[in-house]
């Protein structure tokens, strides 16, 4: 009995070994009395060759099989420097599991068509590379978090109130009540720190924003951390160490996949602590010096952040934002009540914000005041306010948009390519 091997396992040093492969027809061409089939599976691709004189039956099957057909192939490994990976399989047996006469995706397919048939687009090795990188980055994050004493928790997705702003909530009927899809797990993570101190979660977050920029999705994967006894500087150190580990570990394990999308690895190599830090005030001055019409107190959007990132060759922090443009739970700067103790991490090369974080307001009275200033009802946050009544401590946290970080690492032109089935204001299918 022949053991099945993966395409990437076929190597020149296996010359003469008989193998069995299972996968999909990625490329096909006929030359004389030979049929060349490049087979793909989850590991990569390998070239197989069907010669008429070796097996009339296998040759006939190879001639009729279509692109993306599922097949099982048997043959003998032959070293060949012209083949992908330096070796090919001289095939003499093929089982067609399902023949595909015509695969809908062609090389000229538009982005919108690829999204319309995303379920088929997932066949693409390039899409597979993106998902491998994304999975490796999360595996690296888990490694770092485990090594540094953080506890994973599992917060709810159905919630009763806003975290980031009521206008971006997805509303739904929950029996005889109104509920919402979570914008962030933050408030629930804050509750968990009183027993576990350092906690994290990976959850889907939902934002009913009609933004159509290259960095917005209505559903995205949110890596969030909260920690007791940490101030803003403490949590920024956590952010840069975590992101650096995720990037460097991914380069170590998935360099070939990364290089499919970017040849220059300089900015990724530069992703080592400490990251540069500039104040919001300095950021506004830089933008104004470049002719951007922005005044102190205005928020920076995608265009402003893109211009600002041109000044850096690694991720960097912008800290000290005006209070009125940030969320109600951020702690007021005791040295300047116009500001909050908050910082965003921006990725270079035009990608902008990948993390938003802050020291949280730990005073009951000040938190109630901020909720009222935002026009919200303190009763909707009664349980959250309880956290400031019973053993409140200084604490900080942040949220990382996983798709945004992947998009930067792979230089993707839109975060939608960094998720399996993207959800945007105009797309809910497939």
Which pair of tokens denotes residue 295? Answer: 């005044």
What 3-state DSSP class applies to 216? coil
Rounded-to-integer distance, Cα 311 and Cα 285, Å: 13
- The answer to whether the pTM exceeds 0.95 is yes
Report the DSSP pairing between strands 151-152 and 198-206.
parallel
> What is the model's pLDDT at position 163?
83
Strand partners for 330: 360
Reduced to 3 states (helix: H, G, I; strand: E, B; else coil), residue 395 is: strand
Other C-beta atoms lying within 10 Å of the C-beta of residue 195: 10
pLDDT tens, position by position, 243-265: 999 999 999 999 999 999 999 99
Average pLDDT, the chain: 97
Domain 7-98, second-level architecture: Beta Barrel (2.40)
- What whole-number distance in Å separates Cα of residue 101 and Cα of residue 28? 13
Distance CA 173, CA 332 (A): 35
Three-state DSSP class for residue 279:
strand
Residue 290 has a pLDDT of 97
Domain 118-418, CATH: 3.30.930.10
Return averaged pLDDT per consecutive 10 residues of the chain, 430 residues in all. Answer: 92 97 98 97 98 97 98 98 94 98 96 98 98 98 98 97 82 96 97 98 95 91 98 98 98 98 97 98 98 98 97 98 97 97 98 98 97 92 97 98 98 98 96
- Tally of CB atoms within 10 A around 266: 11
Question: Is 118-418 the same fold as 7-98?
Answer: no
Q: What is the pLDDT of residue 4?
A: 94
3-state secondary structure 281-312: HHHHHHHHHCCCCCCCCCCCCHHHHHHHHCCC
Residue 107, number of CB atoms within 10 A of its CB? 4
Task: Indicate the domain borders of the chain.
Answer: 7-98, 118-418
């Amino acid at each position: 009995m022949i053991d099945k091997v993966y395409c990437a396992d076929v190597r020149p040093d296996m010359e003469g070994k008989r193998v069995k492969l299972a996968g999909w027809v990625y490329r096909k061409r006929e030359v004389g009395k030979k049929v060349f089939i490049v087979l793909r599976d989850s590991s990569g691709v390998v070239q197989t060759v069907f010669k008429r004189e070796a097996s009339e039956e296998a040759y006939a099957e190879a001639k009729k099989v279509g692109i993306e057909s599922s097949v099982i192939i048997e043959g003998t490994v032959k070293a060949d420097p012209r083949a992908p990976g330096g070796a090919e399989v001289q095939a003499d047996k093929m089982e067609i599991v399902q023949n595909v006469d015509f695969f809908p995706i062609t090389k000229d397919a538009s982005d919108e068509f690829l999204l319309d048939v995303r379920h088929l687009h997932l066949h693409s090795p390039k899409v597979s590379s993106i998902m491998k990188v994304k999975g490796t980055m999360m595996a690296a994050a888990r490694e770092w978090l485990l090594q540094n004493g953080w506890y994973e928790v599992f917060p709810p997705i159905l919630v009763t109130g806003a975290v980031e702003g009521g206008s971006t909530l997805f509303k739904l009927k929950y029996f005889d009540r109104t509920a919402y899809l979570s914008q962030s797990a933050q408030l629930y993570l804050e509750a968990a720190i009183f027993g576990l101190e350092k906690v994290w979660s990976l959850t889907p977050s939902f934002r009913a924003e009609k933004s159509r920029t290259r960095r917005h999705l209505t559903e995205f994967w949110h890596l969030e951390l909260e920690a007791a006894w940490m101030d803003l500087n403490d949590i920024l150190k956590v952010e840069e160490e975590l992101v650096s580990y995720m990037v460097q570990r991914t380069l170590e394990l998935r360099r070939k996949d990364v290089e499919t999308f970017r040849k220059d690895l300089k900015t990724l190599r530069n992703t080592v602590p400490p990251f540069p830090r500039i104040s919001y005030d300095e950021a506004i001055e830089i933008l104004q010096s470049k002719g951007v019409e922005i005044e102190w107190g205005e928020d920076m959007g995608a265009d402003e952040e893109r211009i600002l990132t041109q000044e850096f060759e690694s991720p960097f922090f912008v800290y000290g934002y005006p209070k009125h443009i940030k969320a109600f739970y951020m702690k007021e700067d005791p040295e300047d009540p116009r500001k909050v103790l908050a910082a965003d991490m921006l990725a270079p090369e035009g990608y902008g914000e990948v993390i938003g974080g802050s020291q949280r307001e730990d005073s009951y009275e000040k938190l109630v005041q901020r909720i009222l200033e935002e026009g919200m009802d303190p009763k909707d946050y009664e349980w959250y306010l309880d956290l400031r009544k019973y053993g409140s401590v200084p604490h900080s946290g942040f949220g990382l948009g996983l798709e945004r970080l992947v998009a930067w690492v792979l230089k993707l032109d839109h975060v939608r390519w960094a998720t399996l089935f993207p959800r945007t204001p105009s797309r809910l299918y497939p």
